[in-house]
Amino acid sequence: MRAYSASAEESVDARNLLKDWLAESFLTREQYDRMEPDTACDLRRTNIFLRVVLFLFTLIIVAAAAGLFFVLVLDRSSSQSTGVFLLVCAAASYASAEFAVSQFHLYRYGIEEALAVCSVGFLCGGLLALLSSSTESLVPAAGILASLWIWHRFGLPYAFLAAMIFVIWLAPYWTSSHSAQHTIVAVFYATGLIAVIAARPRDHSIVEALLWLGIYLAINLQLSSMDLLRQWWLGPASTTEFPRAFYWTTWVLIWLLPPAILVRGILRKDRLVIAVGTIAALLTLITNKPYLGWQRHTWDPMLLGALLIATALLLRRWLAAAPNGIRHGFTAQRLSAKDKQWMSIGSAALGLATPQAITPPHQPAAPGPHFGGGTSGGAGASSDF
């Protein structure tokens, strides 16, 4: 059912590992050159930058071609004709994606990904035009199924994320109760999680992490409530939107879920699940006061920052104190060249973004959306007091 053979994908993984080990000097260049031909496969790949650009231009071509045909041939036609046309586009896009994979062996190449994504978009658009308002709930349902198929067939994790978003779209068709909607979404994700844990598909790690995150976001009413902006800017959330028992049950759950996710991630040594567990724990700390209706203080971020720094340092110290710096199979040492690469990219990008993010704006003049102008630079030296 998968568009790529398991052996080909394992060869890709093996080649990635060899590159990583070479960069980390676990292998010599000579060893790498002798081992690398053994990982050859017929899949055609490209680097991340070209992949993104190829994805964007494929989207432009497909959308423009469909739009052009519609304008020239189907303009002022009925919604039924439009719907049928979009369904034909969906089928054509999907067939093109399959053709690109089977004939040209494209793998994470941008083009086949964009075609697969377009097929889901056209399918939903076509159904939206064809169906009446009473059967409109079939649109997100079809979106879920199509996205899951794309994920299963091509192994694109963001297709699974799209399926999760379609679940959110589906819930309001079944009930107008906000608490019931949150419950439906959480139950859907939990069912998916059980299925993923049981079946353990090839890319189960990222999918499991997404589902854990989805469940957490669905039950944290401070994050997933419809009037999120009002709550965050105008004051703490009121409990009146939700039944009291439901509200406080979710409060208990947002405290129980992060440790559960973290334990699972640590036991399975799953980096993405650990990351989601950490994010969930942070979000719980950040949203706890609004949940309880308590007032925020200006020093709250300082306390949170101190907690994070202390946690990192204690953890590092605890791991480093063990023989060879390894405790229970975990180490604080860098073992992958990818980590260094991520750190280099992240430090440059985050260092640039930091001043805007953490300092209140002040300007003697109002430069507007221009280059520089002080609001984007100065590492906060233009803060106002």
- 283-342 residues in contact with other proteins (CB under 8 A) are 298-309, 311-313, 315-316, 319, 326, 329-336, 339, 342
Strands 330-331 and 326-327: antiparallel
Site string for other proteins, 13-52 (x = CB under 8 A): xxx-x---x----xx---x--xx--xxxx-xxxxxxxx-x
- In whole angstroms, how close is the CB of 175 to other proteins at the nearest point? 37
Per-residue buried b or exposed e for 33-53, using 16+ beta carbons within 10 Å of the residue's own CB: eeeeeebebebeebeeeebee
- Measured distance CA(132)–CA(138) in Å, rounded: 10
Selected from 5, 60, 78, 102, the binder of other proteins by CB under 8 A is: 60
Min CB(262)–other proteins separation in Å: 11
Nearer to other proteins, 56 or 252 (CB): 56
Residues 77-116 that bind other proteins (CB under 8 A): 108-109, 111
Q: By C-beta, is 56 or 256 nearer to other proteins?
A: 56
Return the SS3 of 143.
Answer: helix
Residue 239, CB half-sphere, CA atoms under 13 Å: how many? Answer: 13
For residue 252, what are its two tokens? Answer: 């208990």
In the complex, the smallest distance separating the C-beta of residue 313 from other proteins, rounded to whole angstroms, is 7
The residue type at 171: A
Select 197 or 343, whichever has its Cβ closest to other proteins.
343
Interface characters, 344-363, with other proteins (x: CB under 8 A): x-xxxxxxx-xx-xxxx-xx
Residue 133 within binding range of other proteins, rule CB under 8 A: no
Q: Where are the alpha helices (DSSP H) in 70-78?
A: none
Helices assigned H by DSSP within 131-177: 138-154, 157-174
Nearer to other proteins, 57 or 255 (CB): 57
Are the C-beta atoms of residues 154 and 113 closer than 8 Å to each other? Answer: yes
Q: Which is nearer to other proteins, 152 or 316 (CB)?
A: 316
In angstroms, what CA-CA distances link 96 with 104, 106, 117, 130? Answer: 11, 12, 11, 24
* Residues 257-276 close enough to bind other proteins by CB under 8 A: 269, 271, 274-275
Tokens of 253: 């759950």
56 binding other proteins? (CB under 8 A) = yes
Q: Which is nearer to other proteins, 45 or 204 (CB)?
A: 45
Query: Is 377 among the residues that bind other proteins (CB under 8 A)?
Result: yes
Q: Is 106 helix (H, G, I), strand (E, B) or coil?
A: strand
